[in-house]
């Protein structure tokens, strides 16, 4: 049982086909008990400058010239998650029988510390600071893509207790898994089929339709558009997507990331004025690592404010109940100035 307790495992549910990560490491992580971000003591925060030794050694960083790894002087810092949901190991062995399918929990779980400033918010950073964070995301995805054993990567941010954060210092995470999640698999099947039938990208066609209808559009620039999706799962859920077709986030140039950062800051600031972004998840979906030919995919970001709690119906039926029409949510976000 001892070894079990430290080695994560991926298991597939025989009834639904859904994968789950069983990861006992996670239960050892510290969880801030404070309700307000301001009540946390900086000297105890493992993500604050001066406390670099409290994290595993850094993998990547934006640093001031002549500053040393794992010392202060960084602007963005990437470290392995100290309590990873997945292990980094060299070998993947699959164990499968008729009912039970499992593989060792090998993969990547990294933390991107977004700023040295403990008390800031992602959307209150300068655009240039946001660009540095996005560049780090991009570099990490490029690196992860080199590992042929990994099939899927997600960049995600949990901000606020209600969104699942255990530490308040602004940070994002990257998880890469050795299996394609069932949800992504289903989406990819739909995207491929749509591409075959219509000779166009489903996301591109949704963007065109959103622009034509206008009711769900929140903000628009020459290069990006933000809208509340037709079947939004969460109140005020907002997507930011490139108007031009690009499959992989990590293929974007610095100029384009600058444009994206401007749109992101604009939309999140509006969302914060409209509903107060105390708790939210932020996601960047890039094309799955598994596909060589991923022309059907269109990278995008999702901002999911967490205002209501998910309950038994959602967990039992996988069916979300959203209390506000996306058209009304879009109007409220647009009007928040």
Judged by CB under 8 A, which of 50, 164, 214, 276 binds its own copies?
Answer: 164
Task: Output the CA–CA distances (angstroms, integers) from residue 52 to 37, 55, 112, 114, 133, in the order listed.
Answer: 20, 6, 13, 14, 18
Which residues ranging from 16 to 45 are in contact with its own copies (CB under 8 A)?
A: 16-24, 26-27
Q: Smaller CB distance to its own copies: residue 73 or 194?
A: 194
Which residues ranging from 200 to 239 are in contact with its own copies (CB under 8 A)?
A: 202-203, 205-206, 209, 229-233
DSSP collapsed to 3 states, 131-162: HHHHHHHHHHHHHHHCCCCCCEEEEEEEECHH
CA distance 323 to 36: 26
**Residue 184 in contact with its own copies, rule: CB under 8 A:** yes
Judged by CB under 8 A, which of 262, 291, 328, 336 binds its own copies?
Answer: 328
Q: Smaller CB distance to its own copies: residue 74 or 242?
A: 242
Look at the chain and count its residues.
337
Q: Which two tokens stand for residue 14?
A: 């025989």
Which residues ranging from 232 to 251 are in contact with its own copies (CB under 8 A)?
A: 232-233
Q: Give the shortest CB-329-to-its own copies separation in angstroms.
A: 10
Which residues contact residue 244 at a Cβ distance below 8 angstroms, ignoring those fewer than 6 apart? Answer: 223
**Residue 275 in contact with its own copies, rule: CB under 8 A:** no
Q: Give the shortest CB-327-to-its own copies separation in angstroms.
A: 8
Q: Smaller CB distance to its own copies: residue 13 or 88?
A: 13
Nearest to 112 by CA among 69, 64, 148, 60: 60
Strands 152-159 and 171-177, how do they pair? antiparallel
Q: Give the shortest CB-254-to-its own copies separation in angstroms.
A: 25
**Residue 2 in contact with its own copies, rule: CB under 8 A:** no
283 SS3 class:
strand
Q: Smaller CB distance to its own copies: residue 93 or 311?
A: 311
Per CB under 8 A, the segment of 37-45, 58-66, 92-100, 133-141 that binds its own copies is: 92-100
Q: Give the shortest CB-270-to-its own copies separation in angstroms.
A: 20
Q: Which two tokens stand for residue 247?
A: 């499959």
- Residue 65 burial by Cβ neighbours in a 10 Å radius (0-12, 13-18, 19+): exposed
Per CB under 8 A, the segment of 63-71, 134-142, 269-277, 314-322 that binds its own copies is: 314-322
220 SS3 class:
strand
**Catalytic residue ranges:** 171
Q: Which two tokens stand for residue 42?
A: 């900086």
Judged by CB under 8 A, which of 111, 141, 163, 267 binds its own copies?
Answer: 163
**Residue 286 in contact with its own copies, rule: CB under 8 A:** no
Nearest to 269 by CA among 128, 172, 126: 126
Q: Give the shortest CB-289-to-its own copies separation in angstroms.
A: 13
Q: Smaller CB distance to its own copies: residue 74 or 236?
A: 236
Judged by CB under 8 A, which of 30, 39, 41, 100 binds its own copies?
Answer: 100
Q: Smaller CB distance to its own copies: residue 51 or 102?
A: 102
Per CB under 8 A, the segment of 47-55, 59-67, 268-276, 307-315 that binds its own copies is: 307-315
**Residue 187 in contact with its own copies, rule: CB under 8 A:** yes
10 SS3 class:
strand
Nearest to 157 by CA among 262, 56, 305, 319: 305
Find out whether 157 and 281 touch, Cβ atoms under 8 Å.
yes
Judged by CB under 8 A, which of 92, 127, 154, 336 binds its own copies?
Answer: 154
Strands 101-104 and 95-96, how do they pair? antiparallel
């Amino acid at each position: 049982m001892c070894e079990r307790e430290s080695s994560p495992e991926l298991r597939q549910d025989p009834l639904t086909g859904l994968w789950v990560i069983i990861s006992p490491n996670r239960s050892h992580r510290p969880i801030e008990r404070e309700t307000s971000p301001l009540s946390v003591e900086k000297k105890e925060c493992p993500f604050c400058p001066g406390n670099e030794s409290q994290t595993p050694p850094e993998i990547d960083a934006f640093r001031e010239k002549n500053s040393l790894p794992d010392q202060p002087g960084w602007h963005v810092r990437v470290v392995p998650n100290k309590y990873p949901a997945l292990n980094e190991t060299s070998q993947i062995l699959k164990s499968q029988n008729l009912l039970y399918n499992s593989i060792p929990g090998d993969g990547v779980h990294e933390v991107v510390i977004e700023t040295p400033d403990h008390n800031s918010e992602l959307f209150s950073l300068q655009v240039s600071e946001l660009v540095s964070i996005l560049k780090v995301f991009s570099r990490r995805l490029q690196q992860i893509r080199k590992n042929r054993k990994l099939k899927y990567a997600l960049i995600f941010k949990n901000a606020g207790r209600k969104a699942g954060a255990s530490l308040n210092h602004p940070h994002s995470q990257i998880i890469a898994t050795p299996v394609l999640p069932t949800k992504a698999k289903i989406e990819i099947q739909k995207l491929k089929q749509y591409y075959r039938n219509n000779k166009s990208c489903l996301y591109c066609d949704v963007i065109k339709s959103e622009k034509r209808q206008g009711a769900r559009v929140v903000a628009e620039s020459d290069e990006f558009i933000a809208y509340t999706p037709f079947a939004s799962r969460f109140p005020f859920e907002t997507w930011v997507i490139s108007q031009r077709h690009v499959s992989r986030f990590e293929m974007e140039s610095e100029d384009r990331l600058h444009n994206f950062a401007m749109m992101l800051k604009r939309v999140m600031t509006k969302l914060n004025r409209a509903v107060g972004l105390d708790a939210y998840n932020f996601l960047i979906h890039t094309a799955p690592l598994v596909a060589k030919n991923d022309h059907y995919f269109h990278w995008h970001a999702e901002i999911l404010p967490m205002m209501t709690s998910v309950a038994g119906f959602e967990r039992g039926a996988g069916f979300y109940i959203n209390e506000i029409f996306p058209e009304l949510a879009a109007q409220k976000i647009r009007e928040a100035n």
